[in-house]
């Protein structure tokens, strides 16, 4: 009877891959093996001069910067991000963070991180959504890297408009001076990894880094789930 009940439940609530929406096989969790093998990885962490790092040259002081996947509109990475951001799939963020953190752990630039900080949401936006998707990515990354997750030091104090349809200049203006630090001494002389779900123009990351850079002796690296070319 239990077997038939499970079959009936899966008919109406199928256990599907969060990237391709295909059915998951026994033993698969959140992402199918095919997507784990085929999602477009950037391998940016193997190249100090990768496109994410170059995007911040001359803008903010970074130790290293990278992204896990390439973002393509309508592609499976977009589906993954949508499920994480809007469909409550918190465990997906943690899983992807664990996967990427495992790859970064032996890397010379990212392997010795003290704290992982998610790009924060304003408290009003976080109440509306119920969670910060980047926080769960940060938890997974920190677990894999053997670092601490810090969700309280960097905060967003001003609610801003959506960045989606803004130009690069508008995005920079929109997030200027909206981030603040609580207890900045907790980051003194630390290597921090700032993480977000996707990097497009990098305006939000830039604003965060400018705030973090006020801390004495801090070393700042950046990583995201995806990079939009």
Provide the residue ranges of all domains of the chain, joining segments of one domain with +. Answer: 1-38, 40-228
pLDDT exceeds 80 at position 131: yes
pTM of the predicted structure, to 2 decimals: 0.87
Please tell me the predicted confidence (pLDDT) of residue 158: 83
pLDDT exceeds 70 at position 161: no
pLDDT digits over 144-158, tens only? 999 999 999 999 998
> Token pair of 145, please?
């890297």
**Sequence-ordered strand ranges (E) for the chain:** 64-71, 115-118, 148-149, 154-156, 179-181, 191-199, 219-228
pLDDT digits over 13-59, tens only? 569 999 999 999 999 999 999 999 999 999 999 999 999 999 999 99
According to CATH, the topology of domain 40-228 is Rossmann fold (3.40.50)
Report the alpha-carbon distance of residue 16 to residue 101 in Å, rounded: 24
């Amino acid at each position: 009877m239990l077997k038939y009940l499970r079959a009936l439940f899966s008919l109406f609530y199928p256990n599907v891959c969060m990237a391709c929406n295909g059915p998951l096989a026994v033993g698969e969790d959140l992402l199918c093996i095919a997507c784990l093998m085929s999602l477009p990885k950037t391998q940016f962490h193997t190249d100090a001069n990768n496109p994410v790092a170059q995007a911040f040259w001359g803008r903010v002081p970074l130790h290293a910067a990278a992204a896990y996947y390439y973002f393509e509109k309508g592609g499976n990475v977009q589906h993954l991000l949508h499920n994480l951001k809007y469909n409550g799939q918190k465990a997906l963020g943690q899983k992807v963070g664990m996967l990427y953190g495992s790859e970064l752990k032996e890397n010379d630039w990212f392997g010795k991180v003290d704290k992982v900080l998610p790009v924060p949401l304003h408290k009003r936006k976080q109440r509306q959504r119920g969670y910060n998707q980047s926080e769960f990515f940060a938890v997974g990354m920190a677990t894999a890297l053997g670092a601490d997750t810090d969700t309280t030091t960097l905060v967003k104090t001003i609610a801003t408009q959506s960045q989606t349809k803004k130009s690069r200049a508008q995005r920079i203006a929109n997030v200027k001076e909206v981030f603040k630090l609580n207890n900045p001494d907790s980051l003194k002389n630390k290597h921090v990894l700032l993480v977000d779900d996707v990097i497009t123009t990098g305006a939000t990351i830039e604003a965060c880094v400018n705030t973090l850079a006020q801390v004495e002796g801090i070393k700042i690296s950046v990583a995201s789930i995806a990079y939009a070319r």
